[in-house]
């Protein structure tokens, strides 16, 4: 009887070389409970530390971690500029007297091209700690990337992100018997964000914008200043990161995100 075992998964680090690439980066090694990995010369080898009989089972463990790595970098860089593309799997048959079982597979990703200056990085980013690219993180990053690439207005994007945090916060508060908290207070508590940060974001979403950018028509609308736009562009990735930290460990304690952590406006 055959006893297949996944030894390792192999990926290729993909970047849009027209805008971003790694040059001469030293290797990165990292160990998790279920696997260890080595990223070197644009190739990633993930060695399984627990038994998986199928490629699909191993990738169910590894791929979410790699996705979180990609997203954590995207939050730093304002766009997904690196992806791990699956190349092949190394498997063996552990049954006595069996030969090696070989399997390969290829996944193809597309990367959007942005009109930005090319950047060369000489170090690979470390894998994230205490962060997961949860479904909420994926949705929030999608909206933020739409703004970055000019497909969504800044106030629409910011208001969506704020509303998601508030709705999730309210649901968490109700589930934990803290239903007297307002939705904004709940978001501040569960995602470790100072209330005045959320208040400022809400104020900008509600009161700023002209005929071309406002969420609602206001004949006396006030356009966002350059500093206000820069502040929103800074706070949104930080809020997305807080969602990923909370979803990784809902009971964890972390210092609040405050105005002091953000640009002055």
User: What is the structure's pLDDT at 77?
Assistant: 81
Q: Residue 70 domain-assigned?
A: yes
Mean pLDDT of all residues in 168-174: 96
Whether residue 47 is found in the same domain as residue 145: no
Q: Judge whether 127 lies within some domain.
A: no
Residues β-bridged to residue 257: 193
The total of other beta-carbon atoms located within 10 Å of residue 45's CB is: 16
Residues 87 and 141 reside in one and the same domain: no
pLDDT at 105 exceeding the cut of 80: no
- Its domain, for residue 222, covers 135-261
Flag the least confident range among 5-9, 25-29, 114-118, 182-186. 114-118
Sequence-distant (6+) residues with CB within 8 A of 259 are: 194, 196, 197, 200
Name residue, tokens 């470390």: 126
In angstroms, the CA 235 to CA 191 distance is 13
Whether the pLDDT of residue 175 is over 60: the answer is: yes
| Residue 115 confidence class, pLDDT cut points 50, 70, 90 | very low
- For residue 129, being part of any structural domain is answered with no
Please state, in angstroms and rounded to a whole number, the distance separating the CA atoms of residues 44 and 32: 15
Q: What is the pLDDT of residue 102?
A: 54
In a domain, residue 44? The reply is: yes
pLDDT band at 98 (very low <50, low <70, confident <90, very high): low
Question: Residue 152 corresponds to which tokens in the numbers above?
Answer: 């969504």
Whether 130 maps to a domain, the answer reads: no
What is the dihedral sign for C-alpha 46, 52, 58, 60? negative
Q: 3-class SS at 88?
A: strand
Structure tokens at 46: 């993930």
CA angle 227, 211, 215 (to 5 degrees): 75
Confidence of residue 78 (pLDDT cuts 50, 70, 90): confident
Inter-CA distances, 222 with 153, 154, 204, 227, Å:
15, 14, 10, 14
The more confidently predicted of residues 24 and 163 is 163
Q: Which residue has the tokens 């562009």?
A: 233
Separation between Cα atoms, residue 228 and residue 6, nearest integer Å: 51
**Any idea which of 83-87, 124-128, 186-190, 209-213 has the lowest mean pLDDT?**
209-213
Confirm whether 128 is domain-assigned.
Answer: no
According to the model, what pLDDT value does residue 109 have?
A: 39
Distance CA 214, CA 224 (A): 9
Contact 188, 162 (CB under 8 A): no
Last residue of a domain, one of 86, 121, 156: 121
Q: Which candidate, 129, 108, 4, places its Cα nearest to that of 58?
A: 4
- Reference 27, options 18, 19, 36; nearest CA is 36
State mean pLDDT over 170-184. 94
Average of per-residue pLDDT across 65-88: 92
Q: How many domains does the chain have?
A: 2
158 and 252 share a domain? yes
């Amino acid at each position: 009887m055959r006893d297949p075992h996944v030894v390792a998964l192999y990926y290729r680090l993909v970047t849009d070389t027209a805008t971003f690439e790694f040059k001469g980066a030293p290797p990165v090694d990292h160990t998790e409970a279920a696997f260890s990995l080595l990223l070197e010369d644009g190739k990633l080898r993930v060695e399984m530390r627990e038994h998986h009989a199928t490629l699909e089972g191993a990738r169910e463990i590894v791929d979410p971690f790699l996705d979180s790595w990609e997203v954590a970098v995207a939050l730093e860089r304002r766009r997904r500029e690196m992806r791990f593309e699956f190349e092949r799997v190394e498997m063996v048959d552990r049954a006595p007297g069996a030969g090696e079982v070989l399997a390969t597979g290829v996944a193809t990703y597309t990367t959007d091209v942005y009109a930005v200056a090319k950047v060369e990085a000489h170090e690979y980013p470390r894998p994230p700690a205490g962060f997961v690219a949860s479904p909420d993180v994926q949705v929030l990053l999608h909206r933020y990337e739409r703004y970055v690439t000019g497909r969504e207005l800044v106030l629409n994007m910011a208001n969506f992100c704020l509303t998601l945090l508030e709705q999730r916060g309210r649901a968490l508060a109700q589930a934990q018997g803290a239903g007297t908290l307002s939705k904004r207070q709940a978001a501040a508590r569960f995602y470790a964000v100072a209330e005045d940060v959320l208040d400022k974001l809400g104020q900008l979403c509600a009161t700023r914008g002209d005929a071309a950018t406002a969420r609602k028509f206001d004949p006396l609308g006030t356009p966002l200043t350059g500093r206000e736009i820069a502040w929103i562009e800074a706070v949104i990735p930080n809020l997305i990161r807080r969602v990923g930290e909370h979803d990784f460990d809902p009971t964890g304690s972390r210092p609040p995100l405050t105005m002091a952590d953000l640009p002055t406006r």
